Structure 1
Amino acid sequence: DFIRDRHQFGAEIFNTMGSFAPAMGMIGTLIGLVQMLQSMEDPSTIGPAMAVALLTTFYGAIMANLVFIPMAGKLKTRSKEEVLVKELIVNGVIALAVGENPRIVEQKLNAFLPPSERKSQFE
């Protein structure tokens, strides 16, 4: 449970960052628009200022959707995989401790592995 909680905390951090990134981009856009409106007397500065203002929203969306949210998903997936492996190890050790036949335990645990990773008893 400790491992699962620790991993969930890390994934939640990335999910939170993913939800805040677009908002930070919008704040940057508002700041850029205010600066653009302050320099309205020179029309040549409006275009570049508007581009900078809109880029902050773009960067916020990119960071959320291409970095933070996928990273949170990957952390959750890796956490599930790690917890499963650790549970299999514990179950195997317990089975051996109560006196089950090691070959039977090996076969039971091999059933949880993908076919490409299974060890044959004939190898």
Structure 2
Amino acid sequence: MPDVVRELGGVPVLVCDPAGPPVATEQDALDLIGAAFAGAEVVAVPASRLDDDFFSLGTRFAGEVMQKFVNYRLRLVVVGDISRHLAASAALRALVHESNRADHVWFVPDLDALDDRLRAAA
């Protein structure tokens, strides 16, 4: 399945294909942002597409990617199981907790959870 814009919770979401290219550089993130200009307000990226550096906060990659999305006024949602990464990093656990309390970057287990969260926010 290619990346496709779908409506979830009444909001246009670019749902990224789990088999798509990895997000391993800032340019990869900018490519997703560019694809979102087809009408999406939210970009839902499978956790499996994110390079491990995203989850290792010392690399600063997560911060760089998240800041790009904020700058372009798009919400970033990481979709999927990140428990392996959370178990290895208290800092990442704190980032996920704080991000999920805000509105720009969310971490959700699946698209159903994203749909529910977007409906609740409406």
Question: TM above 0.5, one fold?
Answer: no
TM-score (normalizing by structure 1): 0.21
TM-score (normalizing by structure 2): 0.21
Greater RCO structure (CA 8 Å; 6+ sep): 1
* Bigger-Rg structure (1/2): 1
